[in-house]
């Protein structure tokens, strides 16, 4: 098992570092490139929501990223001090034209679609979002 920890400033330009941390964890878990990318996308969407909707116009806080990897399993925890918001609540499905999808507003849908489990808690004025991806190994 490997554990990676990173704290980034709550700014959009720092999100790439969070994705790189997740990419390394996904590699440790033995994920293929597509599964790794899906996990990175979920983290990017969650971090972007924290920065834009959580910290917004106030002086941005930090985002702490904990990535725990074991063979076939990746757990990502994001912690921030923005106002409370529960992204673990699955959003309602939205109908849209597949030739003209909406711009924006799909971050939570993406997170819930690509991750196997999404949970949220609020402790000591901190949001804690935990996302898990599991890939069963195929018999060789």
Q: What is the pLDDT of residues 6-41, one digit of tens each?
A: 999 999 999 999 999 999 999 999 999 999 999 999
Q: How buried is 110 (Cβ within 10 angstroms: 0-12 exposed, 13-18 middle, 19+ buried)?
A: middle
Give the tokens for residue 9: 């400033």
Measured between alpha carbons, how far is 83 from 80 in angstroms, rounded to an integer?
A: 9
Domains defined for the chain, CATH in brackets: 2-134 (3.30.565.10)
Specify the residue for token string 């991750």. Answer: 115
Measured between alpha carbons, how far is 56 from 87 in angstroms, rounded to an integer?
A: 16
Q: What is the pLDDT of residues 49-72, one digit of tens each?
A: 999 989 986 667 999 999 999 999
């Amino acid at each position: 098992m490997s554990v990676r920890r990173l704290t980034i400033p709550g700014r959009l330009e720092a999100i790439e570092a969070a994705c790189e941390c997740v990419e390394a964890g996904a590699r440790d878990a033995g994920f293929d490139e597509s599964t790794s990318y899906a996990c990175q996308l979920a983290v990017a969407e969650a971090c972007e929501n924290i920065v834009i909707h959580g910290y917004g116009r106030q002086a941005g806080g930090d985002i702490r990223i904990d990535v725990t990897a074991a063979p076939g399993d990746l757990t990502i925890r994001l912690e921030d001090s923005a106002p409370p918001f529960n992204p673990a609540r699955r959003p309602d499905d939205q109908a849209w034209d597949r030739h003209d999808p909406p711009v924006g507003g799909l971050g939570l849908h993406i997170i819930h679609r690509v991750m196997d489990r999404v949970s949220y808690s609020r402790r000591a004025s901190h949001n804690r979002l935990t996302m898990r991806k599991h890939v069963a190994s195929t018999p060789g």
